[in-house]
Amino acid sequence: MSLKSHLVELRNRLIKAAIGLVIGAIAGWFLYSPLFQALDAPIRAINDSRAGSASINFDGVTTAFDLQIQGSLFLGAIISSPIWIYQIWAFIMPGLTSKERRYTFGYMFAAIPLFLAGLYCGWLFVPNIVRALTSFTPDGGSNIIHAVDYLGFVMQLMLFMGFSFLLPVVLVGVNMAGVLRGKTMFKSWRFTVLGVTLVSAMAAPGNDVFTMFLLAAPLLLLYFGAMLLCVWLDKRRDKRREKLAEETEETADSATPLSDLESF
């Protein structure tokens, strides 16, 4: 394809991705009200338990409208994620070999559900995090939470969890590229457990260890599962290389020596 054809193809893919995002944002517009009610539930629970010590504040005339636009776009990006991710894959697919297409399709097939699972996990921990962080408010104080800041905090937490769940896909991709072997990953498992535990403690600072464990357990399972898969892939590659080396050696041994050909 010429440069002009590539640009036309890119334009078509971007248009299709944008249409998917718009459709998802329209659906997100109607889902925004139940979304905000779910986000407001931890604040209402704090009010019931602390005699009205927390509230979500809309500090401008257009704040509520702007917040609904942001929430709709965020939901639209999540709803339409299979569409725009496929458009990215479809754009780069013509330049890949058949083997590379299978690999990239496998990555995409694994990345989408893992990303969505991470978002859902972050959503489940929002009430615990809000309750834990607002518990530091001194007696007599009030938590007047800005709505825009609150929605941004929730979106950042969910995106963080979504990208954290993509770590196994990244590790397997790096391993298949030959950059990092599975045994090398296992050597640093202590630092990995420590890092995941610290991140889980910051992301879900509940009053008990069980809350932190619920967040750390899936991340550790995904990480060690990815390492085991990398070790298995390394063994398969090593066996193929050994077999290829043996076949090459046998071919070289069975070949006619050059001196015999010259004498003939």
Query: Model confidence over 209-219: pLDDT tens digits?
Result: 666 776 777 77
Diameter of the chain measured on Cα atoms: 105
Instruction: Tell me which long-range contacts 9-15 makes (C-beta under 8 A, separation of at least 24).
Output: 9/91, 10/91, 13/87, 13/88, 13/90, 13/91, 14/87
Where does a domain end: 162, 197, 215?
A: 162
Q: Are residues 143 and 119 in the same domain?
A: yes
Q: Name the residue range of residue 240's domain.
A: 166-246
Q: Are residues 79 and 205 in the same domain?
A: no
Give the CA count within 13 Å in the CB-facing half-sphere of 137: 19
Element (H, E) at 145: strand 143-146
More confident residue, 89 or 257: 89
Tell me: do 212 and 141 sit in the same domain. Answer: no
From the list 182, 169, 175, the residue with the least C-alpha distance to 107 is 169
DSSP three-state, residue 192: helix
| pLDDT band with cut points at 50, 70 and 90 for residue 50 | low
255 found inside a domain: no
Query: Span 66-72, mean pLDDT?
Result: 89
Q: Does any domain span residue 230?
A: yes
Residues 110 and 129 in one domain: yes
> Could you tell me the pTM of the whole model?
0.69
Asked if residue 35 is part of any domain, the answer here is: yes
Could you read off the pLDDT of 91-130 as tens digits, one per residue?
Answer: 777 766 776 677 777 777 778 888 888 888 888 878 877 8
Question: Domain for residue 110, yes or no?
Answer: yes
> Same domain, yes or no, for 99 and 208?
no
- Residue 39 forms part of a structural domain: yes
Q: pLDDT band at 207, cuts 50/70/90?
A: low
- Cβ atoms 202, 219 nearer than 8 A: no
Number of domains in the chain: 2
Kindly state whether residue 254 falls inside one of the protein's structural domains: no
Residues 137 and 223 in one domain: no
194 and 93 housed in the same domain = no
Whether residue 104 sits in one domain with residue 174: no
264 falls within a domain: no
37 lies in the same domain as 100: yes
Alpha helix (H) residue ranges in the chain: 3-50, 63-79, 81-92, 98-134, 147-164, 167-176, 182-187, 189-203, 209-254, 258-263
Residue 39, pLDDT above cutoff 80: yes
210 and 154 part of one domain:
no
